[in-house]
Amino acid sequence: MNNSLKKLQEEREAMLPPELEDRITQHVGTLTLFSSVVEVFVPNALQVVVQMVGGDELPCLKKAGRRQARSDNMDWRNPPAPSTV
């Protein structure tokens, strides 16, 4: 059977403005960049805020070895031991 609806659809498909692809590609680029920026900076910004209000390091941002390195100077209420040098 003839399908006039499909014919009409095919005619309209050919009318797609070519500049639309550039516009969408631009959006895709911007959104990809934005998501990378968010991924890199937001966790660190969040960490700064948490530490400013007296919180501990966010568990999701803990890196192997980092906790041990920082724990030497963690208790700021006691002065560091005098240098032996």
Nearest approach, Cβ of residue 15 and another protein (Å): 7
CA distance 11 to 75: 74
What does the alpha-carbon distance between residue 76 and residue 51 come to, in Å, rounded to a whole number? 14
Is the CB of 28 or the CB of 45 nearer to another protein?
28
Q: Which residues bind another protein (CB under 8 A)?
A: 1-17, 20-21, 23-25, 27-29, 31-32, 35-36
- What minimum distance in Å lies between the beta carbon of 43 and another protein? 17
**Nearer to another protein (CB atom), residue 15 or residue 64:** 15
Ramachandran sector of residue 65 (left: φ over 0; alpha: ψ -120 to 50; beta: rest): left
Write down the least CB distance from residue 58 to another protein, Å.
23
Closest-CA residue to 68 (of 57, 55, 84)? 57
